Amino acid sequence: MDLPWTSLIINSSTRRSITLPKIYSQRRDMYHYLDYDPIHGDYKVLCMTKGMNIGWRRGLAEDLRVLTLGNGSSWRMIEDFPPHAPESLDLCIDGVLYYEAYLDTYPAFLDEDKAVMSFDVRSEKFHLIKTPETALFTKLTRYEGKLAIMGSESTGLSTCRIDMWVLVDAAKHEWSNKVFVVPCWNTESCIFSSLLSHGCRFFIEGITELKLLRWDSHLNRRVISIFPGQVENLMFL
């Protein structure tokens, strides 16, 4: 039986909100991504469900649809997209939405098949970007205006190693690597901070994106996402 999903977008600055048209689905795993087209000034919401795992194979994206906010628009189905398993990390830069994904590979427990999916907000076309084999990332961010993926590990009691891969050419799947060794400390004044496994926070100059996730553990649903990078135009809400 299809159950209704009701989603709400809230602008915390203006305290106004928009209720999105309901989606009826049997799936419990549903992903929403907010993106922006700077050419036409349109905000769009990309939505998809994820099928159930079959054996050791990951569930793949299903029922992809997009909604242009405002003017009484309705969801439009998207039929042409690469097979992939969507994940929660996402970021929109200059009219292109990037989000974490896994390739349609076997078995599902391997991390080597992690990739980045791009979605051109204006043309509504997808492109799969392969990541370096050694890039085990846990974060998407913006570095000097470009997409970057990054991961971290402790190198001692007071330092952390940050591995960052910056996208150079999406069509050629080309990335450049940067490594930072930075001190870890507990502070709330960081421009960018990420909670590591041992509880440290770190700071890197030039990174301004931050995404926080909250889940309903009983329904396995994401119930709140924060998109501080979506500040190009607040007039729609």
- Residue 199: pLDDT band (50, 70, 90) is very low
Query: If you average pLDDT over residues 196-200, what whole number do you get?
Result: 37
How do beta strands 139-143 and 146-154 pair? Answer: antiparallel
Give the span between the Cα atoms of 97 and 201, in whole angstroms.
Answer: 27
- Are 98 and 90 within 8 A, CB to CB? yes
Res 185: pLDDT: 55
Task: Show me where the domains of the chain are located.
Answer: 3-225
pLDDT number for residue 215: 46
Asked if the model's pLDDT at residue 156 lies above 60, the reply is yes
CB 229 within 8 A of CB 91: yes
86: left (phi over 0), alpha (psi -120 to 50) or beta: beta
| Predicted pLDDT at 79 | 92
Per-residue pLDDT band for 109 (boundaries 50, 70, 90) equals low
Q: 15: which residues sit within 8 A by CB, 6+ positions away?
A: none
Closest CA to 42 of 229, 228, 230: 230
pLDDT at residue 55, rounded to an integer: 73
pLDDT band with cut points at 50, 70 and 90 for residue 105 = low
Residue 20: half-sphere exposure toward Cβ, Cα within 13 Å: 25
Q: How many helices (H) and strands (E) does the chain have?
A: 0, 18
Residue 111 has what pLDDT?
Answer: 60
